[in-house]
Amino acid sequence: MRRESALNNGPAGVSGVTPDGEPSTSTAEGVARRSAVAEEQAFLDLATAQRDRVVDHLQAELSSDALDALEQARQRMLRRQYEELRRAQEGLVFGRLDDLDGTVRHVGRVGLRTDGEDSEPLLLDWRAPAARPFYTATAVDPQGQARRRHIRTRDSVVVGVDDEPLDGTVTGELVGEGALLAALDQRRTGHMSTAISTLQREQDDIIRAEATGPLIVQGGPGTGKTVVALHRVAYLLFAHQRMADQAVLVLGPSPRFLQYIAQVLPALGETAVVSATCDTLLPEIRVGRDESRLVAEIKGRALWQLALENYVTSLLPRPRELTLRWEGESYVIAAESVTQALASAVEGRSYHRARAAFAEQLHHLLAEAVVEHREALMDEMEEGFEDILARVDRDMQQDHHSSRKPAGSDIDGLLSEEEVEHLRDRIAENATIARFVEAWWPTLDAEALLGGFLTDRTLLTRFAPQLSPEQITAVSAEPPQWASSDIPLLDALADLLGEVDAPHPQGEFVADRARRQRGWVYGHVVIDEAQELSEMQWHMVLRRCPSRSITAVGDIDQAEAAHRHTSWAEAVRAAFGDRWTAAELTICYRTPREVMDLTAPVLKKAGSHNAPPRAVRSSGITPWELTITPAELAGTAAQAVRQLRQRWSGGTVGVIAPADRITELVAVLGDVPVLTATQSKGLEWDATLVVDPHRIAAEPRGWNGLYVALTRCTQELGQLILTR
């Protein structure tokens, strides 16, 4: 009963806000509300003043003359603290826990102490273990808490509080129901905001889960997958300094999606983060064309990993006797020595690293050959000219003008260790020897090599025998520019080849260095809309995080990519086998019940075996449909969008349509986003207009796409049905 009344009539408890956001003032309850708001305002003022003092102190320390003397690690730590506190003005304090023993602790975006590192906390960081009961305590399991209070602020003013007794008198289903529903009812802005004040228990469990292996999180529309993924990044960077030192990679499905979430992590004070799509992971490589779903599916298969490995192995030089020229003489390196050097160089190394290791060994072998040749010449000379050498030796010893005692090659023609080392250095720097190595073991360019491989039917038949002749024809006939499915292949080949000269990116922030280096190893990788990744894209992720500290969130029922996976086990088997952990988000917070009620038959037609998530809120607005002819589309769509924008003034409206209707609608709808179902993935608006849903369903994996399209709104859904 309490949940229903909260959903329909506003939050229960000490909510204390009127429709315009100001504290209520009537009756005894109003007095209690004003008192609670005043109490929290006093604390917010105290915390804000302390935050300002710490920010000023850090700014002074970072700008002082002593900055150069600070070690780099300390500089990074101070700058991280400064950025985190500087951005924490909005929503600095949002919660309070009252223990059963009377202790009161406030929870906020950052941690603050009253005076010094050893003093008592003034404000608990939401990521700290002591703050966890704020997200997980219930009346059934109060975890030592008597009450939880959610504090709502606007700028630096407390505008309302919501109290939840945890003594068993109230058994609400949601944590901070009033604050949560108030946040969900706010207008969308086109950018995701933080949700640290309204996280729910099942979300918090995933955010704080161990990061020792792949964690795959299944969650339907509106369950907060993206919120969980981003707040997990913030939590892990707080809890594990190693990850901050190595940076965290956040992979999203599209540039529009990355723009949508761009403010969340900076707002949480996180800078050790690189955001990208799979298409933008390779520095200076860009997708230049679209491709057919057929070819995308073929190129996404895991078979390419082994095919490329075998192809690169075939490019290694075959051991044989080598003849090199040095200072006018020819020197023969025996095939047996070359074989041993080649085997030693190749083991566990990329193509170019193996080449460098072999070149170093070849320099040693040539130096040894030169020394042996010189020693042999001296032996021959000694056999014929022993008497002459003896006389010369006596004459040199008797020469009173000589003050230097002969040594090494000065007497017997043998080279000293220093001279042999100098000889090796000269050989290593010699251009003729370098040209010989380049000719026998050439430097390779990944782009040129992959381009040649993919267009050569003979090579494809040899190294990818799993492909049919028709599939080989489809792959080899592709245009020269890179398509999306080529990027993982190019990444795999670049990794197998390795760097010729490994770069050392410079930059103050670790994210700047990581962003510019293809082979950077991240402390953790977070993937949103992970159901869209192909097997080769999963391999691309794994190369960037060999520790397998990976969090992937998505909805397998929203998969629209060309691959054929219909379960997470199928999707990740090629990369992880069965060594991964599953988690699930089951509650839909964003999408209203009225819309979610439409999704069960759509899911069934999509072939799903999952139940849709359970919606916990109602918008009170019944989804509507309007049947029109194609000729009426432009005018009707423009009118419908105009009315939606009026109804949701201050919020956002989005239009989702089949791919072949996008151009027509963009021309008449102006600045309203008009996207395909795939492009809308992960986004949300107050109101959504879905155009021609039957045509969307007829597209490849169209029922999955329609499921996405229907679930993008937080308040109102309209559909324009086109007659055929």
pLDDT at 6: 28
Cβ-based neighbour number of residue 717 at 10 Å:
25
Q: In Å, how far are 495, 561, 658, 705 from 555, measured between CA atoms?
A: 30, 12, 21, 12
Distance (Å, rounded) from C-alpha 565 to C-alpha 218?
A: 14
What pTM was computed for the model? 0.75
| 226 labelled ligand-binding | yes
Question: Is pLDDT larger for residue 682 or for residue 507?
Answer: 682
User: What is the pLDDT, as a whole number, of residue 403?
Assistant: 40
pLDDT-based confidence at residue 180 (cuts at 50, 70, 90)? low
Domain pair 226-311+479-588 / 608-722, same fold:
yes
- Angle among Cα 471, 477, 480 to the nearest 5 degrees reads 130
Kindly list the domain boundaries of the chain, sorted by start residue.
29-186, 226-311+479-588, 318-387+417-440, 608-722
pLDDT attached to residue 88:
75
Residue 408: the pLDDT is 43
Query: Tens digit of pLDDT for each residue in 624-656?
Result: 999 999 999 999 999 999 999 999 998 999 999
Q: So what's the pLDDT on residue 17?
A: 42
180 and 202 Cβ atoms separated by less than 8 Å: no
Q: What is the pLDDT of residue 304?
A: 97
- The residue among 396 and 376 whose pLDDT is bigger is 376
Q: What pLDDT does 610 receive?
A: 78
Q: What is the mean pLDDT of residues 188-206?
A: 64
Residue with tokens 């009812």: 185
Strand partners of residue 276: 251
HEC-encoded secondary structure of 42-80: HHHHHHHHHHHHHHHHHHHHHHCHHHHHCCHHHHHHHHH
Does 349 have pLDDT greater than 80? yes
Cβ count near 691 (within 10 Å): 26
What integer is the mean pLDDT of 81-108?
85
Arithmetic mean of pLDDT, 215-238 = 87
> How far is residue 137's CA from residue 518's CA, in Å, rounded to a whole number?
43
Give the strand pairing for 550-554 and 215-219: parallel
Check whether 394 has a pLDDT greater than 70: no
- The fraction of the chain above a pLDDT of 90, given in percent, is 48
> What is the bridge-based pairing of β-strands 93-99 and 145-154?
antiparallel
Q: Is 220 one of the annotated binding-site residues?
A: yes
CB atoms within 10 A of CB 248: 29
The strand pairing partners of 105, in sequence order, are: 97
Residue 223 among known ligand-binding residues: yes
Please determine, for residue 561, whether its predicted confidence score (pLDDT) is greater than 80.
Answer: yes
Task: Give the residue from 161, 198, 191 showing the smallest Cα distance to 177.
Answer: 198
Give yes or no for residue 622 having a pLDDT over 90. yes
Amino acid identity for residue 635 in this structure: G
Please name which of 348, 351, 342, 344 lies closest in space to residue 322, comparing C-alpha atoms. Answer: 342
Structure token pair of residue 519? 């082979």
pLDDT for residue 64: 65
Determine if residue 219 is labeled as part of a ligand binding site.
yes
Q: According to the model, what pLDDT value does residue 392 have?
A: 47
Q: How far is CA 4 from CA 186, 475, 585, 716, in A?
A: 19, 57, 22, 20
For residue 454, what pLDDT band results from cuts at 50, 70 and 90? Answer: very high
Mean pLDDT of the 487-511 span: 80
- What is the CATH architecture of 608-722? 3-Layer(aba) Sandwich (3.40)
CA–CA separation, 508 vs 500, rounded Å?
A: 25
With residue 268 as reference, give the H or E element that holds it: none
Say which CATH class 226-311+479-588 falls into.
alpha beta
Quick check: 568 pLDDT over 80?
A: yes
pLDDT bin (cut points 50, 70, 90) of residue 260 is: confident
Q: Distance of alpha carbon 407 from its chain centroid, rounded?
A: 63
Q: From residue 332, how far is each of 173, 181, 423 by CA, in Å?
A: 82, 81, 17
- For residue 177, give the amino acid letter: E
Query: What is the Cβ-side half-sphere exposure of residue 680, based on CA atoms within 13 angstroms?
Result: 32
| CA–CA dist 506, 267 (Å, integer) | 25
Residue 326 CA to residue 200 CA, distance in Å, equals: 74
Average pLDDT over residues 305-322: 96
93-99 and 104-108 as β-strands: parallel, antiparallel, unpaired? antiparallel
Q: How confident is the model at residue 590 (pLDDT cuts 50, 70, 90)?
A: confident
Q: What is the pLDDT of residue 143?
A: 87
Residue 171 is predicted with a pLDDT of: 45
Average pLDDT of every residue of the chain: 83
Answer yes or no: is 225 a known binding residue: yes
More confident of the two residues 192 and 421: 421
At a CB cut-off of 8 Å and minimum separation 6, what does 202 contact?
585, 586, 587
Residue 608 has pLDDT above 80, yes or no: yes
Neighbours of 127 (CB within 10 A): 21
User: Cα(first)–Cα(last) distance of the chain, in Å?
Assistant: 47
Alpha helices, H only, 212-350 = 225-239, 241-246, 255-261, 264-267, 293-299, 303-314, 335-346
Cβ(61)–Cβ(85) below 8 Å: no
> Residue 115: its pLDDT value, please?
72
pLDDT over 90 (residue 701): no
Burial letters for 520-540: b for 16+ Cβ neighbours within 10 Å, e otherwise?
bebbbbbbbbbbbbbbbbbbb
Q: What is the CA radius of gyration of the chain?
A: 34
**Any idea which residue has 């009225």 for tokens?**
594
Could you tell me which residue, 312 or 409, shows the higher pLDDT?
A: 312
Mean pLDDT, to the nearest integer, of 181-198? 50
